[in-house]
């Protein structure tokens, strides 16, 4: 009799638990379904928004930043909906998240500063994706402007991730902002060389390069009577994309033409005089 009552009690317990467990299982299933479907919907929405933005005059930099920001916001909404499906009161959770957010915000002031700097970068656009910039000690082509950081690719194919706050706190040099750049070269000759001949040679070298622009007019001028040399500044203007090719080419042509015309290129040197003093003792 006692065994029968025990079995009946256990059966009753499982019967009582079956309903709530089934209900909770359904809630978990729907919550997982909301996350899976929500992620797919978010991707679809972002694709539609990005396609619409591409048809406007908004720059790629702004489009990428807006896409990253919307992705974060949409996923937060999806997770809140999934939590709500589990029967958890989201109002209290949002209040807790607000309080926790304040505490985390105080602890992560640097990250919030990077976020604010990202907003400023997108708003004032000191650079955009594809520009070659120098920010502090780092320089490279901008690959991506994210919410908290900017990604650069160096000429030797290294990737540098710089916090946006660090960039905005310092000076930014944008080499791609203007369509043209000035090439600055210092060419030196000896005091025994004919400076008129040197100036004409430098002018001819510039004029023979088709990549050098006529406007603004190139400059070749004597700039310094140094200790061991006479220095000329060579300053032609070129398209920004031609800067380094023209710079390297002009250096090579100057060396070759100076050698061919017998123009000396001074280099630091020191004369040492040795005196032999005979011992008079």
Q: Is the pLDDT of residue 106 over 80?
A: no
- Partners of 142 in the β-ladder: 152
Rg (CA), the chain: 35
Stretch 51-73: mean pLDDT? 74
- SS3 assignment, position 233: strand
Stretch 11-26: mean pLDDT? 58
d(CA 19, CA 123): 55
Task: Give percent of the chain with pLDDT exceeding 70.
Answer: 76
Stretch 51-69: mean pLDDT? 73
Per-residue pLDDT band for 146 (boundaries 50, 70, 90) equals confident
Stretch 34-46: mean pLDDT? 84
Complete DSSP assignment for 43-102: HHHHHHHHHHHHTSS--HHHHHHHHHHHHHHHHHHHHHHHHHHTT--HHHHHHHHHHHHH
Cα angle at 51 between 50 and 56, to 5 degrees? 90
Residue 55: how many other CB atoms lie within 10 Å = 7
Is residue 25 exposed (0-12), middle (13-18) or buried (19+ Cβ within 10 Å)?
Answer: exposed
Tell me which of 191 and 85 has the higher pLDDT: 191
Give the pLDDT score at 1: 47
Q: pTM here?
A: 0.59
Q: Could you report the per-residue pLDDT of 235-251, keeping only the tens digit for each? A: 999 999 899 999 999 99
Give the pLDDT score at 23: 64
81, two tokens? 């909906």
Which ranges of the chain does DSSP label H, i.e. alpha helix?
2-54, 60-85, 90-107, 109-124, 164-169, 195-207, 243-261
Location of structure tokens 């060419």? 187
> For residues 246 and 211, is the Cβ–Cβ distance under 8 A?
yes
Task: Give percent of the chain with pLDDT exceeding 90.
Answer: 39
Q: Which helix (H) or strand (E) holds 155?
A: none
Q: Could you report the per-residue pLDDT of 163-212, keeping only the tens digit for each? A: 998 998 889 999 988 999 999 999 999 999 999 999 999 999 999 999 99
Per-residue pLDDT band for 2 (boundaries 50, 70, 90) equals low
Give the pLDDT score at 110: 66
196, two tokens? 């008129």
84 Cβ partners below 8 Å, 6+ apart?
90
Task: Give yes or no for a cis peptide into 216 (omega within 30° of 0).
Answer: yes
Is residue 30 exposed (0-12), middle (13-18) or buried (19+ Cβ within 10 Å)?
Answer: middle
């Amino acid at each position: 009799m006692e065994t029968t009552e025990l079995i009946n009690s256990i059966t009753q317990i499982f019967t009582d638990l079956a309903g709530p467990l089934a209900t909770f299982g359904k809630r978990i299933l729907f919550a997982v379904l909301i996350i899976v479907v929500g992620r797919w919907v978010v991707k679809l929405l972002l694709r539609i928004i990005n396609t619409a933005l591409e048809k406007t005059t908004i720059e790629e930099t702004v489009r990428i930043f807006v896409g990253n920001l919307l992705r974060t916001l949409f996923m937060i909404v999806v997770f809140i909906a999934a939590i709500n499906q589990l029967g958890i009161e989201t109002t209290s959770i949002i209040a807790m998240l607000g309080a926790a957010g304040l505490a985390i915000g105080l602890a992560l002031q640097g990250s919030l500063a990077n976020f604010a700097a990202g907003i400023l970068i997108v708003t004032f656009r000191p650079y955009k994706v594809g520009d070659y910039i120098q920010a502090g000690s780092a320089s490279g082509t901008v690959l991506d402007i994210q919410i908290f950081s900017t990604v650069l690719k160096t000429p030797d194919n290294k990737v540098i991730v710089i916090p946006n706050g660090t960039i905005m706190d310092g000076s930014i040099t944008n080499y791609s902002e203007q369509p043209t750049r000035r090439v600055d070269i210092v060419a030196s000759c000896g005091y025994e060389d004919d400076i008129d001949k040197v100036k004409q040679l430098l002018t001819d070298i510039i004029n023979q390069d088709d990549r050098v622009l006529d406007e603004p007019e190139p400059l070749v001028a004597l700039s310094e009577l140094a200790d061991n040399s006479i220095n000329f500044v060579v300053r032609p203007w070129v398209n920004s994309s031609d800067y380094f090719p023209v710079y390297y080419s002009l250096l090579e042509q100057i060396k070759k033409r100076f050698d061919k015309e017998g123009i000396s290129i001074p280099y630091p040197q020191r004369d040492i005089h040795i005196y032999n003093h005979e011992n008079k003792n």
